[in-house]
Structure 1
Amino acid sequence: MLPDLTQYLWIAWLVLALIFVIVELLTLEFTFLMLAGGTLIGGLGANLLSAPWWLQVGAAAAVSALLLFTIRPLLLRVLHRNSAHIPTNVDALAGIGARVLVPFVDGAGSVKLDNGETWTARLADGQPSAEVGARLVVRAVRGATVEVGAPVPDPKENTHG
């Protein structure tokens, strides 16, 4: 005679919760942690109360949805509360100083940024031509070209005479 497999359903709930926790450790977004909580609280909890298998699945789904839409946003808000946006890569170039390397012809030239990188540059609209060695500031990055303008006073130059 075949055994009634529903009496071992509690093992399936524990294994499923363990799988969700392992996946959560890989993703770190609290999604699978909420599913693990729903599995344990709803599925295993209903199993321990001797509910039928379909009620266990429904309870697990309901508790998981409740956790996903209530607790998870709160956890994410607390986690990201003190994290300020720090620009990196190309986003960090806006506002950095530059020195003209190649004279601008028709608004296009070459500059060396303060971080040591050499970029093709275009003068910002309305910006007069800049001489070699002049200090400018990066206003924006347009593809592989930086838009420069507004000369920046050189801190090494002493104008106090």
Structure 2
Amino acid sequence: MDEWVIWVILAVVLGVAELFTFTAALGLLGAAALLTAATAALGLPVPLQLLFFAAASAAGLLVVRPLALRHVKQPQLQRFGVEALVGKPAYTVSEVTGREGRIRVGGEEWSARAYDETLVIPAGATVDIIEIEGATALVYPRE
């Protein structure tokens, strides 16, 4: 069997293994094996093929993989939904106690409770949203 066929088989095996691991390491090794298959098809001797495979693998694992992982692990730049309300200022539409109340934030009216259950926040006061529980905002008065 020709050497290039063995390299292609190795590339396919590594590619399939990558589908089960999602580490990018086996995929890069498979790509290196595929490139080595091309060098084998050109007629390079086996020791040079192994040297080329080692160099291509090292380049992939040391250069390409960290770049790929950096793009995959980027933090979420913007919060969405109710997570975006936490930390925002609002003002009270009605008196807010530890049991009930209403606030207006971003043009929407929300049910609210005081974060500290002993507080009574008068209507018209500015508050900060500390947490969202279901459809109720837990607020604390702004000093």
Question: Residue 147 of structure 1 aligns with which residue?
Answer: 138
Question: Residue 121 of structure 2 aligns with which residue?
Answer: 130
Question: Residue 86 of structure 2 aligns with which residue?
Answer: 94
CA distance in 2, matches of 1:130, 1:91: 23
The 1:128/1:64 distance shift into structure 2, 3 A limit, reads farther
Secondary structure of the structure 2 residue equivalent to 1:102 = coil
Flag structure 2 segments of 5+ consecutive residues without an equivalent.
16-21
Whichever residue aligns with residue 43 of structure 1, its letter is A
The 1:138/1:106 distance shift into structure 2, 3 A limit, reads closer
CA distance in 2, matches of 1:104, 1:137: 12
The 1:142/1:71 distance shift into structure 2, 3 A limit, reads farther
**How many residues are aligned here?**
126
Secondary structure of the structure 2 residue equivalent to 1:146 = strand
Question: Residue 156 of structure 1 aligns with which residue?
Answer: none
Question: Residue 26 of structure 1 aligns with which residue?
Answer: none
CA distance in 2, matches of 1:118, 1:71: 51
CA distance in 2, matches of 1:118, 1:69: 53
CA distance in 1, matches of 2:141, 2:97: 17
Question: Residue 108 of structure 1 aligns with which residue?
Answer: 100
CA contact (8 A) 2:121 2:141 kept: no
CA distance in 1, matches of 2:62, 2:131: 40
Q: Normalising by structure 2, what TM-score?
A: 0.56
